[in-house]
Structure formats: C-alpha cells, structure tokens
C-alpha cells in the first residue's frame, strides 16, 4: 500500500499526445461499434477512418507550430520525443492512412469483404508507426514496432478467400518474428553495455563517463542486431526476401499501405536511433549501411526488370527505393552527433514523404486493374488501358515517371536530395552507383507504360471485366498525381519543411 501511495508516474501532456489519442480512439470506435452494431451504410467505414486520420494529421500541423514557438522536448520521462521530426513522420503516416482508406473502400466492397476490421487495423498500425517515429527509448521503439508488425500480419492475410493472401500473412509473421528477435536481442546487448535503453542515457554513458570496463563489444553487437531487425522492416538486401511474396499475396490496398506507412515508420525509427542514440559507433554502423544501400539499390533494380507481374515489379522497385533512402541514412552517419548536422536525415525524410504518396497512387491504379478477385496483376492486365481508360493510364504514367526520377516530378526531387546528401559527404561511389541503378530501374517502369499505351490487343482481351474508377479511388489517385506534379514544379516548401525537422532531431542530443 505504501509503495502504491508513493509511486508517481511521469506527467502526461495530453495535447502533445493528441495525434496518437485520436488514432487510438478512432481505431477502438471502429472495432467496438463495428462489432456491436449492424453493418454501417456504404462507404461509412472508409469515411470514418479517413476523417480520423485527417484529424490526427491536422493536429500534427498544429503541434508543429507549437514546437516552432516553444522548442523540442521529450515527454513521458524521456520515452517520447516531441519534435518536428516526429511530427513529419506522423503527418506522412496519417496521410498514408487517409489515402489507403479511400483506395480500400471500393476494393473491399468489390471483394465482398467490407467491414470495420481493415480500417481499424490501418489505424492501429498507424499508432505503431507514429510511436516508432517518436520513440526516444529502445523499449518504446520495440513496442511501436510490434504494434505495427502485428497489424500488418493480419492485414496481409485479410483476404480470406485467396490462398496467396493467407500464405503472405504466414510468411510475414514467421520472418517478422525472427527479425523482432534479432531486434530485441540487440536492445538487450545495448542495455548491457550502456546501462539504459533511453537514447539520451545511452549517449551520455559513453560521453561523460570514463569506461573502467570495456563494454563496447556488447554495444557493437547490439547495434549490429538492431540493424538486422530494422533492415528487415525496410526491406533492405539481404533481408528483403519476404517482400515480393508478401506484397504480391496481400490485398493490393494493404500492399500500398505497407509500402508507404510501414517504410516511413521503420526508416524514421532507424534514423533517430542511429543519429541520436548511437553516434559514437557511426564509424562502425555507417560502412554496414553503405553496403546495404549498395546491395539494395542495385539488387532491387536488377531483379525488378525481369519480373512479369506488376505487383512483384513494384515490390522489387520498393526495395530499390529503400536503397536510395539508405543512401541518405549513410550520409547522415558522417555528421551524427555533431552540432551541425548534414542533410542526410532531411533528404531521407523528404524521400519517405514523397515516395509514400507516389507508391499509394501507383498501387491504387493496380487495385483497379486487378479487377474482381485481385488476381489480374500481370503486364497483360494493363494491355490496352491507354485506349479504354486514357485518363487513368495517364495518371499511372505520371506516377511511374516520378518513380523513375524524371525531372519536374516529386521523384526527381527525392532522388536528387539523397544523392546530393551523399555527394556533400563525399560518398561519391554510392552516389554514382545509385544514379546508374536508377537508369536500370527506369526500364521496369517503361515496360508497364508500353503495355498500357503500345501493346497490341490479344484474343480474349475484350472478354475481360471492364476497369471501373470509383469516386474514392479516383480522388486518391488525383491527389497523388497532383501532389507529385506540385512538388516537382514547386519543391521549395516541402524541402524547407524536411530541413526544419532535421535541425530539431539534433537538438535533443545532450
């Protein structure tokens, strides 16, 4: 009784936690009311999920201004970082939930799967992603990772009438369990070497104290295992082998969400833990990241061009894009822990924001072309799309050109940013290799465009189900294309936002 009376928890800043609370409240409302009430009117599940994500995103913008005025800080006894880096990650993840909900609406009704579960899992996964981006403690990072991962396991297997969906969920669950074990073992070793799991305390233990017993080996092994766990989540080579099968088997809107929100969360967690907690080991982890970036950007590009299924093509393409982001992570390592950070973190976060929108729009088109059954995702399914749905084909062309990095698109701004960051840190080799890999990957996007606009019709094409463009999915595609072109022509505002977020990341470092 005495211990209970004297126990005092940390103060809770409810307003600062409002994006998380909005997502949590929305997810619980969907799951509880959806189970206790009759089926909601058509489209209301998706509308509710989108409104909740939009409200959390608007609140994140409000908190961004508060951070600008009052400065960054930590919350909950230093477990959560409240800065513009975390707000940028939150805004990106909430935007992904909003767009994914719009894309999933018609798909779920078309597949006779309409219900609150998918949207509730979108919101729960977003909670895990937001926690990962804001985590200032390894245990909190692990909790966010598991909330995100468990939601994605269920989402991948959510199409109950498709065997490949069940297989993708099982594969993701088994391999994800291994990656979580590596991650947790790494946390244990870092704790053993530093005496804490808090980022600031880990840094401080090797900054202001004289080490009488060398424990660097424990921490170094922990960093290696930590990188393995996070590399799995970002689909970096050689930990990418789950990606093509899971992306191909999962329902296409779920694949879009995984390729956007999950990648943002994993990379945000990686950037913060490496740059804030582990800058003392930057000379150790930076070469490993360099090698992963090289293998990922080249391997993803080369394997993508030999595929014939568009979902598998885009899966390997997402691996290649992860390699580009790793180029930015490697560049950030050159100045990790220093008062004047480079542009590696900002370039990576900018890439994540722009790619999240790109990949959602691209998979939205694939969702429509896959037709009833979600099985027609080979190149032949896109044949003649330019003639039957020219506007939709034009939107897909813009998104594919952006993924290839063509100028005047957001994809060019994203790739130019990470390559510039590498060049500024004199990582010339990886910058040149990334540019060559980008040229190789362009062939992949060209194959899809040729199928849409040039390929001759074949017998049986007329008997295929017609491609429909419902309002929700069409609006999501329009938003993605508009954002892609807006940033391509006027990139200054989003570049400034990402750079402002970067400066605040370092302000929490003692």
Task: Let me know: does 26 contact 48? Beta carbons within 8 Å.
Answer: yes
**For 325-367, what is each residue's pLDDT tens digit?**
999 999 988 877 676 667 888 999 999 999 999 999 999 999 9
For the chain, the domains span 15-507
Rounded Cα distance, 446 and 448, in Å = 5
Band of the pLDDT at 39, cuts 50, 70, 90?
confident
Task: Let me know: does 117 contact 39? Beta carbons within 8 Å.
Answer: no
Exposure b/e, 451-467, CB count within 10 A at least 16 = b? bbbebeeeeeeeeeeeb
Band of the pLDDT at 193, cuts 50, 70, 90?
confident
Q: Over pLDDT 90: what percentage of the chain?
A: 55
- The pLDDT, as a whole number, for residue 340 is 64
What are the Cα distances from residue 347, in Å, to 60, 230, 414? Answer: 21, 19, 7
DSSP 197-223: -BHHHHHHHTTSS--SS--HHHHHHHH
**For 114-165, what is each residue's pLDDT tens digit?**
788 899 999 999 999 999 999 999 999 999 999 999 999 999 998 888 899 9
**What tokens appear for 471 in the block?**
């309002």
Prediction pTM value: 0.93
- The pLDDT, as a whole number, for residue 324 is 94
- The pLDDT, as a whole number, for residue 507 is 44
């Amino acid at each position: 009784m005495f211990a209970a009376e004297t126990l005092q928890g940390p103060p809770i800043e409810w307003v600062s936690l409002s994006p998380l609370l909005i997502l949590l409240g929305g997810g619980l409302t969907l799951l509880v009311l959806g189970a206790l009430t009759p089926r909601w009117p058509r489209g209301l599940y998706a509308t509710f999920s989108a409104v909740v994500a939009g409200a959390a995103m608007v609140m994140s913008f409000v908190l961004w201004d508060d951070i600008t005025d009052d400065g960054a800080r930590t919350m909950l006894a230093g477990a959560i970082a409240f800065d513009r880096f975390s707000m940028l990650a939150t805004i990106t993840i909430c935007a992904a939930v909003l767009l994914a909900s719009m894309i999933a609406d018609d798909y779920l009704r078309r597949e006779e799967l309409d219900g609150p579960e998918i949207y509730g899992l979108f919101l729960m996964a977003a909670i895990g992603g937001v926690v990962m981006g804001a985590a200032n403690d390894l245990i909190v990072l692990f909790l966010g990772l598991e909330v995100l991962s468990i939601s994605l396991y269920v989402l991948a297997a959510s199409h109950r009438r498709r065997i490949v969906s069940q297989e993708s969920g099982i594969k993701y669950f088994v391999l994800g369990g291994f990656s979580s074990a590596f991650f947790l073992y790494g946390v244990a070793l870092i704790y053993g070497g530093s005496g804490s799991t808090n980022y600031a305390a880990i840094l401080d233990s090797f900054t202001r104290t004289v080490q009488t017993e060398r424990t660097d080996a424990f921490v170094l092994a922990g960093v290696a295992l930590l990188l393995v766990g996070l590399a799995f989540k970002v689909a970096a080579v050689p930990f990418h082998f789950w990606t093509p099968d899971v992306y191909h088997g999962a329902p296409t809107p779920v694949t879009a969400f995984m390729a956007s929100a999950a990648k943002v969360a994993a990379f945000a967690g990686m950037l913060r833990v490496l740059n804030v907690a582990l800058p003392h080991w930057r000379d150790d982890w930076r070469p490993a990241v360099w090698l992963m970036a090289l293998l990922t950007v080249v391997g993803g590009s080369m394997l993508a061009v030999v595929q014939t299924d568009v979902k598998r093509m885009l899966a390997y393409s997402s691996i290649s894009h992860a390699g580009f982001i790793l180029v930015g992570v490697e560049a950030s390592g050159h100045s990790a822990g220093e008062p004047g950070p480079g542009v590696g973190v900002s370039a990576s976060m900018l890439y994540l924001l722009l790619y999240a929108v790109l990949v959602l729009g691209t998979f939205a088109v694939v969702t429509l072309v896959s037709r009833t059954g979600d099985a027609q995702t080979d190149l032949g399914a896109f044949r003649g799309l330019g003639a039957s749905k020219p506007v939709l084909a034009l939107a897909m062309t813009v998104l594919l050109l952006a993924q290839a990095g063509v100028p005047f698109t957001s994809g060019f701004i994203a790739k130019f940013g990470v390559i510039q960051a590498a060049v500024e840190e004199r990582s010339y080799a990886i910058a040149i290799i990334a540019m060559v890999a980008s040229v190789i990957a362009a062939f992949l996007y060209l194959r899809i465009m040729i199928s849409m606009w040039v390929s001759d019709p074949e017998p049986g094409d007329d008997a295929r189900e017609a491609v429909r463009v419902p309002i929700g999915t069409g609006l999501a595609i329009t938003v993605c294309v508009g954002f892609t072109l807006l940033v391509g022509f006027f990139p200054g505002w989003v570049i400034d936002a990402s750079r402002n977020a970067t400066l605040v990341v370092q302000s929490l470092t003692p």
